[in-house]
């Protein structure tokens, strides 16, 4: 599948061929193919090149007034002609990634029921739990190697979107193919429809999901177990990515299943890797060793604690003990700083709880809780990371305090979409006199520094998960481990333009995502080999396997089956 010139055989012809997005070439079918597949008259007579089709698609796209309209256009293009969609995406990542992915995909999820036209992926609902094996058995899915699955409960920072959450697996897998090079035919988006508690969805007469309040407890767990078991029976070596599950389910499902199949949670592990990689790049600029960093994380859910966990592991690699490293983290949630003895602490939060003795002498704004500003003024963190989904949580006093105590404060408001960011880069720039190293989860306009435009680093999982998927699948890794995500983070840091010039960006440009994915994939594959997770792949074959796995969106010659 990786060779663009390799021919493909099909028994389809006429309208059936044109209706298959994986085989359709539209006006690019050659004269010989039009003869062989009875396409004359069904297409305009001009035979187009792929480049001509890309130009036509871009002209149409740019005529729309809103990004949501552009999103709908690209989704339709993907459902009509996948090769054209991916060729257009890969050649214009800077322009199109914010439309296909965050932030516009958030609006796409909110409007999913109104935009829905053609089936893509699978909607697996609790009423059909007994039919999972039958549904997954469809021959079209024989070649599936990578699945992204969500239950739609915690879509970006937008909350419960029910069946509309399907937009996220579709968008994630678009990046797996567009940036990581996985052939679209090997990918499958899945929405686990367990109902929704979104009143607007339930009251909407156009809502396409199961009209039922969200199922929880044992019935929910039984459905997840049935799903995972069915997936393992159908595809024993598949890569399964959990996406946008609520914090009460995200960590426990990952822990439950991570040793039963090749799986990871991108919100926990992918977010952690990109944040850690960007911080490692920032350390080269600030000159403050990693072991001396103090990290405040606003949003102590599964994503925030995942970030803290991987950075803590990197600190241990740098020489600290686990307890020494953990003490350098200040996790702030809805009830303030996490300290020992608080009610309602989740197990995954426990490693980062501060001792009450450590904060006993702090000066506080109010006596009953320790707010983020209190943490910055008393703990004087060098790094401030947002994973809360709370717009404006990094207020002017908080950011100015970070700048007061640090020559080069590191500030990462990572929440998506753009409307949920803890602060805007423009505000951070003003409040820190241009001294902050900023990373954001969604794209923002460039800043002006020294009279020139400076792109804001998009500290987004798109720098990590496409390469992780490519590396894991290329060597047939049996498991996805924390060590692989550490390897991915370090590979990202090694690709930092700031390594050569501290005035440059911490991360490569979005246009370089395919190159970044290749570097991350190599690091992940090598780590899998070191850990014994890919025992049947000699180390000298890894590069070859990676190259063979990468699909390039170009039209393959079609032949009729039997010729």
- Is 221 annotated as ligand-binding? no
Asked if 172 is an active-site residue, the reply is: yes
The one catalytic residue in 71, 86, 101, 463 is: 101
For residue 243, how far is the Cα from the chain centroid?
8
- Contact between 155 and 164 under an 8 Å Cβ cutoff? The reply is yes
Distance, CA of 75 to CA of 143 (rounded, Å): 22
Asked if 15 is an active-site residue, the reply is: no
- Is 547 annotated as ligand-binding? no
The gap between the terminal CA atoms of the chain, to the nearest Å, is: 19
Q: In 3D, which of 499, 474, 462, 520 has the Cα closest to residue 96? A: 462
Q: CB under 8 Å to 509, separation ≥6 — which residues?
A: 94, 455
The strands making up 187-193's β-sheet, listed across from edge to edge, are 122-125, 187-193, 146-150, 239-242, 262-265
Instruction: Compute the residue count for the chain.
Output: 563
**Surface-to-core class of residue 335, CB atoms within 10 Å of its CB (0-12 exposed, 13-18 middle, 19+ buried):** middle
- Is 233 annotated as ligand-binding? no
Tokens, residue 125: 């609902």
Tokens, residue 82: 């996948």
As a three-state string, the secondary structure of 25-92 is CHHHCCHHHHHHCCCECCECCCCCCHHHHHHHHHHHHHCCCCHHHHHHHHHHHHHHCHHHHHHHHHCC
Distance, CA of 117 to CA of 76 (rounded, Å): 8
Q: CB under 8 Å to 338, separation ≥6 — which residues?
A: 300, 331, 332, 345, 349, 352, 353, 354
Beta partners for residue 368, in sequence order: none
Count other Cβ atoms within 10 Å, centred on residue 200. Answer: 12
- Is 266 annotated as ligand-binding? no
Q: CB under 8 Å to 367, separation ≥6 — which residues?
A: none
Distance, CA of 24 to CA of 76 (rounded, Å): 13
Count other Cβ atoms within 10 Å, centred on residue 490. Answer: 19
Tokens, residue 9: 């055989």
- Contact between 174 and 146 under an 8 Å Cβ cutoff? The reply is no
- Is 243 annotated as ligand-binding? yes
The three-state secondary structure class of 296 is: strand
- Is 267 annotated as ligand-binding? yes
Dihedral sign, CA of 228, 233, 234, 239?
positive
The one catalytic residue in 25, 172, 490, 549 is: 172
Output the DSSP codes for 132-191: HHHHHT-GGGTT--EEEEE-SSSBTTTB--GGGGGHHHHHHHHHHHHTT---GGGEEEEE
Helices 302-317 and 271-286: crossing angle in degrees, nearest 10, is 50
Residues of each annotated binding site for a divalent metal cation? 243-244, 267
What residues are labeled active site?
101, 172
Residues of each annotated binding site for (S)-malate? 154, 416, 460
Residues of each annotated binding site? 154, 243-244, 267, 416, 460
């Amino acid at each position: 599948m990786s060779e663009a010139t390799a021919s493909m055989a099909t028994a389809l012809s006429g309208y059936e061929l044109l209706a298959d997005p994986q085989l359709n070439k539209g006006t690019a079918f050659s004269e010989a193919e039009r003869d062989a597949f009875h396409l004359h008259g069904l297409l305009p007579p001009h035979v187009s090149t792929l480049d001509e089709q890309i130009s036509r698609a871009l002209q149409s796209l740019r005529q729309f007034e809103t990004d949501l309209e552009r999103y709908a256009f690209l989704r339709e293009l993907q459902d009509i002609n996948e090769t054209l969609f991916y060729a257009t995406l890969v050649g214009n990542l800077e322009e199109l990634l914010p439309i296909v992915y965050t932030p516009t995909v958030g609006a796409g999820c909110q409007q999913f029921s109104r935009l829905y036209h053609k089936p893509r992926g699978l909607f697996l609902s609790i009423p059909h739990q007994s039919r999972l094996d039958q549904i997954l058995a469809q021959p079209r899915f024989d070649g599936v190697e990578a699945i992204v699955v969500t239950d739609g409960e915690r879509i970006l920072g937008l909350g419960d979107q029910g069946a509309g959450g399907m937009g996220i697996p579709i968008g994630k897998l678009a990046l797996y193919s567009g940036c990581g090079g996985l052939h679209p035919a090997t990918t499958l988006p899945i929405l686990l429809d367990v109902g929704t508690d979104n009143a607007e969805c339930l009251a909407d007469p156009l809502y396409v999901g199961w009209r039922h309040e969200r199922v929880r407890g044992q019935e929910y767990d039984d459905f997840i177990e049935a799903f995972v078991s069915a997936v393992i029976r159908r595809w024993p070596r598949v890569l399964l990515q959990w996406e946008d599950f609520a914090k009460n389910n995200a960590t426990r499902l990952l822990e439950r299943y991570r040793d039963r199949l090749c799986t990871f949670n991108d919100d926990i592990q992918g977010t952690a890797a990109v944040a850690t990689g960007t911080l490692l790049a920032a350390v080269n600029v600030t000159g403050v060793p990693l072991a001396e960093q103090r990290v405040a994380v606003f949003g102590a859910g599964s994503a925030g604690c995942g970030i803290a966990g991987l950075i803590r592991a990197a600190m241990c690699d740098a020489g600290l003990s686990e307890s020494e490293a953990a003490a350098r983290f200040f996790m702030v949630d809805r009830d303030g700083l996490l300290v020992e003895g608080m009610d309602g602490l989740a197990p995954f939060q426990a490693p980062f709880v501060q001792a009450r003795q450590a904060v006993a002498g702090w000066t506080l704004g109010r006596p009953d809780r320790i707010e983020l500003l209190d943490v910055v003024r008393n703990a004087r963190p060098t790094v401030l990371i947002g994973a809360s989904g709370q717009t404006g949580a990094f207020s002017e006093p908080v950011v100015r305090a970070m700048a007061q105590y640090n020559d080069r404060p590191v500030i990462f408001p990572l929440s998506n979409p753009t409307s949920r960011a803890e602060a805007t880069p423009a505000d951070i720039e003003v409040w820190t006199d241009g001294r902050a190293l900023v990373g954001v989860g969604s794209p923002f306009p460039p800043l002006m520094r020294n009279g020139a435009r400076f792109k804001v680093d998009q500290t987004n999982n798109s720098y990590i998960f496409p390469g992780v998927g490519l590396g894991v699948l290329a060597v047939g890794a049996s498991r996805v481990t924390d060590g692989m995500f550490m390897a991915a983070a370090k590979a990202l840091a090694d690709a930092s333009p700031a390594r050569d010039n501290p005035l440059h960006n911490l991360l490569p440009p979005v246009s370089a995502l395919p190159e970044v994915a290749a570097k991350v994939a190599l690091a992940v594959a090598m780590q899998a080999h070191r850990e014994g997770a890919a025992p049947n792949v000699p180390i000298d074959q890894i590069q070859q396997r990676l190259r063979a796995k990468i699909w390039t969106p170009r039209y393959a010659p079609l032949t009729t089956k039997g010729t």
